[in-house]
Structure 1
Amino acid sequence: MRVIGLMSGTSCDAVDAAACDLVQGPADGALHLIPLGMVSEPYPEPLRAELAEALPPARTTLADVCRLDTRIGQAFGRIAVRADRELCCGRAELVASHGQTVYHWAAGGQVHGTLQLGEPAWIAEATGRTVVSGFRPRDVAAGGQGAPLVGLVDLMLLRGRPGVPAALNIGGIANVTVVPRRADPVAFDTGPGNALIDAAVRELSAGRLAYDEDGALAAAGRVHEGLLRRMLEEPYYRLPAPRTTGRELFHEGYLRSHLAEFAQLPPQDLVATLTRLTARTVADALRPLGATEVFASGGGVRNPVLTAMLRAELAGTPLRTTDELGLPAAAKEAYAFAVLGYLTLHGLPGNAPGCTGAVGPRVLGSITPGRRPLRLPGPPPVAPRSLAVRADGADVRTCASP
């Protein structure tokens, strides 16, 4: 099955579309993924600004939510059409859309609800393809955290590796999946990935810059140990797994409240401190779990200062990228949702209850039919337990029209 996975993370800056062929192995029960490439487009600036103005802790209206749901859905539909044309030669069979998370209702260590915008009807109408969307709510309804949902795909990808492998994604929020040798797997959000760094850069540049490109500001600064200690007192870091968080906690106002008790810091020192905070909290989360290797993905891996700090904090534990597993670090999350969409269409669970805290495995998401009559495939004889990434497929990126 040829599938397009659509993803926009908590940085709320762009939509990624990754295409792949997924083939169930008849003998080994593995799901074989053949990457076909990725395309990415930033949100149109008016939409990005409207989205930023509506995110917590800002107040918004139902009219704003309706407009955002439509415009985000249209943006997802446009890039899905492009991915089908440029990566799939117009032969995509399924689109799996994560949507844009705008609120994750977490309180008292429990998630009570979650909201992703990007109406799938716009994607189905634009592409003519069946769309699977709304993955998180079913896990939440079953008592889970609804995040990180890629935990099941991480388990499939890492299962069988020696030692205690871990997957790390550094988006706006950082999350990990760890596969211990003699214990159940665990997955959770460690805390801010790029969220606070980006918030500081936006504020310091009066909105002219969206992020610390190549870690240039952090590289020019020095970590303020007092501010770092103060920020490490955040109670979230001591909650037991599974736990999840988002921009509902780590936002511009959160950052301002912590800066209030300190004299004005040089901009580069503030960014260096926040970069160290991300590296420290990730390493502190992984250390007790005994990770022996870490495979990183997400936008954070493009920041050389962050990755250097993370290597130092991990103190000898190898830090690699998912490229070594066959999945480009920038596209890994989009590929993961392509896999989850495939599982849903085949009637297979897409959550890992031990990772999210759900009471059991659940088939995730809702299905929006495309232009053709909806015919669901039957489940495979054996549910896939592992994910094998193969690079032997034809490079179909040459099929784009001139």
Structure 2
Amino acid sequence: MRVLGLMSGTSADGVDAVLAQFSGQSSRPSWNLIHSASCPYPSDLRKRMLAMAQGEAAPAAAILELAEAITEQQAKAAEACDPERSASLIGCHGQTIWHRPPENDTRGKRRRGSSWQMLQGPLLAHMLQRPVIHDFRAADLALGGQGAPLVPMADAALMGRIEGWRALLNLGGIANITLIPPSQGPDKKRPVLGWDCGPANSLIDLAMAVFSNGQERCDKDGGMAALGQVMDEPLTSWLSEPYFLKRAPKSTGRELFGRKDLERRLRELQPARPEDQMATLTAFTAAVVAQDLQQLGDLGLPLPTEMVVAGGGRRNKTLMRELQSRCHGLRVRPSDELNLPCEAREALVFALLAWWHHRKHPGNAPAITGAEHSCVLGVRAEPP
């Protein structure tokens, strides 16, 4: 079955699309990546999305218009990736505007989580004239889960196992990690694990916009960070913040690591040069991941044998060097070496999740999100 996957992550750079073929067993499918495309968001649209994602108030009319514009961009990406409309099903993540993980209130009462992936599913189904599976996080959240990350079970199905533990790290706006048990040995029956580590590109991109007076969206190739020196004292202090000491399941987003958070960190880095501040923010992402891996011993788990890296942050050479330096004993390699282009991985995951929905195969796991039980993810919208 041919399925089109559409993904727009926390960085809100644009829509990544993949056209893939799936067959065989749901839990270990045969798959083939046929085509991929990436469609950047227009600058004005991206500005409006980021403003809303940072908590800025907007009238109902503006929210409605934004949802329509996001849906139209998803349709453009789909057409660019599959102009012949050969896919029989679409899986679309939508654009995350706000994510609220489950938490205990001041009285100790558990409050369920909620998450908003902006999209008009029926409109997209009408524009593409094919069924669209969307709103993937809602069912897991209803079952008391984090609603994120949703990629780990799909990662395990797509990438398979090796002799040792394998880690897959996605460097989007937020860094999330998947741990896949080995193919043999006593840990073979362990569950797949995964969680959101913390910021990846979110703070780096926002800082670059500050330092360039809005002229640059990202630190291309990590060039600015490469010119600076990492400031160890504030970095060490940041690693002791509550989120980084929290055990999985855990998830996060721009609500915690957004513009206000960046402003606070930049104040703490004053009066250092911008290059030193960028170097420290870049090292921060790597240090958060390394700290999470070092804490695996507390769960009775060894370090992974290798860590496969995907997402836009893979292109940041300084960040990749920091990861290799700080993640001692791991082989760090790009997902491209496994015939999976680093920007296509999450779109491929949502194509698979749509295929799983079609087959009524669960896409989440309690060990990852904390949900009461596993379930089929997504809501199906038919062309009206």
TM > 0.5 between the two? Answer: yes
TM-score, normalized by length of structure 1? 0.87
Distance 2:269 2:280 in 1: 13
| Stretches (4+) displaced over 4 A | none
Q: 2:4 matched to which residue of 1?
A: 4
Query: Is the partner of 1:245 in helix, strand or coil?
Result: coil
1:171: how far off? 0.3
Q: 1:179 to 1:282 in 2, by over 3 A?
A: same
Contact 1:78 1:126 in 2 (8 A): no
Map of 1:385 onto structure 2: none
Structure 1, unaligned stretches of length 5 or more?
372-402
**Offset at residue 199 of structure 1 (A):** 1.0
CA contact (8 A) 1:111 1:146 kept: no
The aligned residue for residue 231 of structure 1 is 238
Task: Report the counterpart of residue 378 of structure 1 in structure 2.
Answer: none
Deviation (angstroms), 1:200? 0.6
Aligned equivalents of 2:168 and 2:268: distance in 1?
Answer: 36
For the residue of structure 1 that corresponds to 2:82, the secondary structure is helix
Q: CA RMSD in A?
A: 1.7
Determine the C-alpha separation between the residues in 2 that align with 1:29 and 1:267: 47
Report how far residue 225 of structure 1 moved: 1.7
1:125 and 1:370 in contact (8 A); partners too: yes
Question: Comparing both chains, which one has the higher relative contact order based on Cα–Cα distances under 8 Å and sequence gaps of 6 or more?
Answer: 1
Cα distance between partner residues in 2 of 1:329 and 1:283: 20
SS at match of 1:274: helix
Q: 2:98: which partner in 1?
A: 103
**Are 1:191 and 2:198 counterparts?**
yes
Q: Matches of 2:8 and 2:27 in 1, distance apart?
A: 30
So what's the TM-score if we normalise by structure 2? Answer: 0.91
Q: CA deviation at 1:159?
A: 4.0
Cα offsets for 1:113-154 (capped at 9, x unmatched): 000002122321221111100001111111111111011111
In the TM superposition, residue 185 of structure 1 has moved relative to its aligned partner by 2.4
Matched residue pairs, number? 366
Q: 1:50 maps to which residue?
A: 48
Distance 1:262 1:274, change over 3 A: closer
Distance in 2 between residues matched to 1:146 and 1:29, nearest whole Å = 20
**In the alignment, what sits opposite 1:349?**
362
Contact 1:54–1:64 under 8 Å retained in 2: no
Query: What's the CA shift for 1:359?
Result: 1.0
* Residue aligning to 1:62: 60
Greater mean deviation of Cα atoms: 331-340 or 251-260: 251-260
Q: 1:72 aligns with which of 70, 73, 78?
A: 70
Q: Is the 8 A contact 1:227 1:259 kept in 2?
A: no
Gaps of 5+ in 2: 105-110, 297-302
1:233, CA displacement in angstroms?
2.7
1:73 and 1:29 map into 2 onto residues whose CA distance is 30
Q: How many Å separate the matches in 2 of 1:160 and 1:107? A: 31
1:29 to partner: Cα distance: 6.7
Q: Which residue of 2 aligns with 1:160?
A: 161
Tell me if 1:369 matches 2:382: yes
| CA distance in 2: counterparts of 1:178 and 1:158, whole angstroms | 11
Aligned to 2:122: 121
Letter in 1 for 2:329: G
1: distance between equivalents of 2:243 and 2:378?
28
Q: Give SS of 1:278's match.
A: helix
Q: After superposition, give the CA deviation of every residue in 1:320-372 in whole Å (9 maximum; x if it has no partner).
A: 1222333211100000000000010122211122111111111111111136x
Task: Give the 5 Å matches for 1:126-275.
Answer: 126-181=127-182, 182=187, 183-275=190-282
2:345 aligned residue: 332
Distance of 1:210 and 1:80 partners within structure 2: 24
2:52/2:58 contact within 8 Å kept? yes
SS of structure 2 residue aligned to 1:98: strand
Q: Which residue pairs with 1:40 in the alignment?
A: 38
